[in-house]
Structure 1
């Protein structure tokens, strides 16, 4: 299974904010630079995460991004489900429907595998994802970029 780029970026953004030093609030542009992604992609993901209540974004002088408590304790599985949507792993209908659609076992097997994937991520939180060695590495990356 392959995650959409926006899902990956949402996870990395939350992880980056989870290790931000208290009192600092990196901007969307700074997080985009830290993650080596285009600002426009980062801005879309930040807007969605803000709408979900996982981060706060403040504009202007002294503004920036901050992880909310809900963002820190958010289930990685729930976040991935939210960004990936409810779609099936394979498309069985649409412009060219699959001829096996009426008697196919593959679709349900793939759906179970997809749910098992999400279920394995459910117990993990963003805070879990930044435990050592990841958190210190994220801090090192951001410190390197500041110099």
Structure 2
């Protein structure tokens, strides 16, 4: 089972914010983009989505930046991925021409069950769970690092 690049970067964004959020520290979208080797515009779209889901908070201006929310820390990885990935199917059965098997295909049903099993496996994991050691130690070494609250400009 694959997840989209968008969902992958959303999880990485949350992980970075969860591990670095201490004493009110914040991180800019540009710093996140640099840390995960993604374009700033792609991270900006992801940040917008995560803010709308209320798993991160954004503050503009001096001392601004991004922080994970308490509900973001407690968010189920499976539920988050279901939301980010949407209701699509694991395999696109309908192309330009309708599939002659679509009404009677057990494989399509099997793929749907496999997709749900994938998400269900991740349901018990929270964002907080996935940033514990050894992941935490690796995340802390990524550049650029967090700036203390008040040291970030309004990028």
Q: What interval of TM-score do these two structures reach, taking the shorter chain for normalisation? A: over 0.9
Q: Post-superposition, which runs of at least 4 consecutive aligned residues in structure 1 deviate over 6 A? A: 143-146
Which position in structure 2 is the counterpart of 1:116? 117
What value does the CA root-mean-square deviation take over the aligned residues? 1.6
Relative contact order, higher structure (CA 8 A, sep 6+): 2
Q: Which runs of 5+ in 1 are unaligned?
A: none
Question: Which stretch has the larger CA shift, 17-26 or 110-119?
Answer: 17-26
TM-score using structure 1 length: 0.94
2:66 aligned counterpart, secondary structure = strand
Q: State the number of aligned residues.
A: 146
| Per-residue deviation, 1:100 | 1.0
* Native 8 Å contact 1:34 1:145 kept in 2: no
SS at match of 1:19: helix
1:125 aligns with 2:126: yes
- Separation (CA, whole Å) in 2 of partners of 1:18 and 1:2: 24
Please give the alpha-carbon distance, in whole angstroms, between the structure 1 residues aligned to 2:26 and 2:109. 44
- Counting only pairs closer than 5 Å after superposition, residues 1-147 of structure 1 correspond to structure 2 as 1-20=1-20, 21-142=22-143
Further displaced range: 91-100 or 6-15: 91-100
Which is helix-richer, 1 or 2? 1
Q: Is the 8 A contact 1:57 1:66 kept in 2?
A: yes
Distance in 2 (alpha carbons) for counterparts of 1:22 and 1:145: 11
Q: Which runs of 5+ in 2 are unaligned?
A: 148-155
| 8 Å contact kept, 2:18–2:131 | yes
Task: Please report the TM-score for the alignment, with normalisation by the length of structure 2.
Answer: 0.89
